[in-house]
Chains A and B, each alone.
Chain A
Amino acid sequence: NAGVTQTPKFQVLKTGQSMTLQCAQDMNHEYMSWYRQDPGMGLRLIHYSVGAGITDQGEVPNGYNVSRSTTEDFPLRLLSAAPSQTSVYFCASSYFTGGRGPRTQYFGPGTRLLVL
């Protein structure tokens, strides 16, 4: 299993440009999510999905779009990049079943984004 993969590893954008960060997982996880990590802060949730066709907003959704057409893929779109979106972006996935299990989230390697 490759686990959770993210592309690209690093990207430089100019203000106003758009781009898509790719995330894929091969563990048949229902739940997928996007977090951003800024210096001195923990990870903050941008968007998440509990299954194909279902997405919802997290704590910091403004400026980002997501869709989930398959179980495996969960791309994050930056509509019009701003310097405030300079960050490290992590995708994560887990099982999403009823009950009290840990449903541990496993993270991709991250995408480092610089917006000039």
Chain B
Amino acid sequence: AQKITQTQPGMFVQEKEAVTLDCTYDTSDPSYGLFWYKQPSSGEMIFLIYQGSYDQQNATEGRYSLNFQKARKSANLVISASQLGDSAMYFCAMRGLTGANNLFFGTGTRLTVIP
């Protein structure tokens, strides 16, 4: 079984600063994938970034990077140069790499960017 833990219900960051959103996970699968999704106030789920457990390097997508520490079972999202439009809920999710694509989600972190 997979479990995702996001311990920060809410975070604040000053515009143009960097922020780290925490995510820890637990799984018995030897291979797995980790995802981050953004949910703005409009409600849609937007895919941000993916990290495979077998990937040697941390994933990056523009201003998003994933600080993947396999031994600690953590997959923190780093947003650099925060913008007002980054204010949203952020969800960490994972799935095993065998079998179905089913995602297991954390409870989310609400990020507020302060001008």
Q: Tell me whether A71 is interfacial, beta carbon within 8 Å.
A: no
Q: Interface size class for chain B?
A: 20 to 34
Residues of A in contact (CB 8 Å), total 28
Q: Tell me whether B20 is interfacial, beta carbon within 8 Å.
A: no
- Collect the chain B residues with CB atoms within 8 Å of residue A42's CB: 4, 91, 93, 104-108
Pairwise interchain contact A106-B47, C-beta atoms closer than 8 A: yes
Pairwise interchain contact A33-B101, C-beta atoms closer than 8 A: yes
27 A–B contacts from the bound complex (CB under 8 Å): A31-B101, A35-B103, A35-B105, A40-B107, A42-B4, A42-B91, A42-B93, A42-B105, A42-B108, A45-B102, A45-B103, A45-B104, A48-B100, A48-B102, A50-B100, A92-B45, A92-B103, A100-B52, A100-B54, A102-B33, A103-B101, A105-B35, A105-B101, A107-B37, A107-B44, A109-B44, A112-B43
Add 10 more A-B contacts to A90-B45, A102-B35 (CB < 8 A). Answer: A41-B107, A42-B4, A42-B93, A43-B103, A50-B101, A58-B102, A92-B103, A100-B52, A103-B101, A105-B101
Residues of B in contact with A (beta carbons under 8 Å apart):
4, 31, 33, 35, 37, 43-45, 47, 50, 52, 54, 91, 93, 95, 97, 100-108
Residues of A in contact with B (beta carbons under 8 Å apart):
31, 33, 35, 40-45, 48, 50, 56, 58, 88, 90, 92, 94, 96, 100, 102-107, 109-110, 112
